[in-house]
Amino acid sequence: MNALGLTMIMKMGCICTRETININGIKYSVLERLGDGGFSTVDLVECKNNKKIYAMKRMTCHSIADQQKVQREIDYLKKIRHANIMELHDSYFKGSADIVVNTTSEAFLVLPYYPRGTLHDNLQSRAIEKHHMDVTEIFRIFSSVCDAVQYLHEMKPQPLAHRDLKTANICFTDNFTPVVIDLGSMVEARIQVCGSQDAQKLQDEAAENSSAPYRAPELFNVDSYCVIDERTDIWSLGCILYALCYFMSPFDLVYMRGDSVALAVLSGGVHFPEESKYPDHVHDLIIYMLNTNPAERPFIQSVIEKTQIVMNTVNNIA
């Protein structure tokens, strides 16, 4: 750079100044971009008041429906208090929070930052070296996630379903406590489907909000007259336990090949490696949750009880 260019930059000041966002009178300085999706971005920010680091989720709303969905996520986060579910520090709507007319609005959610990353990240690193997790650690993590799911499924006055439980939506705190994140897909768990229009709407929402390799079969092909309940999450828990053992969902390879995940899920075929370090009791627990018939799939309390039995059995074998 020549002397003239350097002089101009010195006169102008730094052109790389950090963005500052004001949330309800508190200023946050954006440090870096953590993630960028189709509907939202997540930035690493520093609170100028207490110098603490947070993750800030920024969502653009293009319609009243978008705003209602974001507001629902905020309301759930404000209501929920559980050690294994992400908490909300603050939130703010920029623009119209009631109606959108030829414009957009932005929602900002100030959330905890988890520097130890996600379970998905951890399992990907382990997969490279084929470093399988110890069965005790598997059940420590899985039991904590089950506790979070039980809390949601027993909410009053209506049980809630996360609807997008997966390894990428489980983070670790500094002491490796698992925390369920991203409640944007969460809904009241029990939905009465009355007719083909209701069925198609629910199926479309599931395709948009629920990741295919962890999505329950009844959400791929919604019956015209049925009740969908919280046991969609139980299917996802079965996929998560499989991933804890073998690094990915039993349907991830189908997804990566570009084959039909729906067909694979609806067929109900779950294959375990021939040479496995885990006892059949663990496989039985996975199959227990991956029942393609939602009416026969267990509720969370039964999963927790069976998990405890399997844990005790495995410990006695060891």
Which residue type is seen at 250? P
Strands 20-23 and 90-94: unpaired
CB atoms within 10 A of CB 26: 15
Q: Which residues are catalytic?
A: 164
Cα–Cα distance, 283 to 246 (Å, whole number): 11
Cα separation, 22 vs 26, whole angstroms: 5
Region of 122 please: left (phi>0), alpha (psi -120 to 50) or beta: alpha
Q: Which residues pair with 30 in a beta bridge?
A: 45
Distances (CA, A) of 142 to 60, 129, 135, 241, 251: 33, 22, 10, 7, 19
> Is 108 in contact with 58 (CB distance < 8 Å)?
yes
Q: Annotate 236-250 with DSSP letters as a single string.
A: HHHHHHHHHHHSS-T
**300-317 and 231-246 are packed helices; what angle lies between their axes, rounded to 10 degrees?**
30
Tokens of 8: 């101009």
Burial of 136 from C-beta contacts in 10 A (0-12 / 13-18 / 19+): exposed
Sign of torsion over alpha carbons 249, 253, 259, 265:
negative
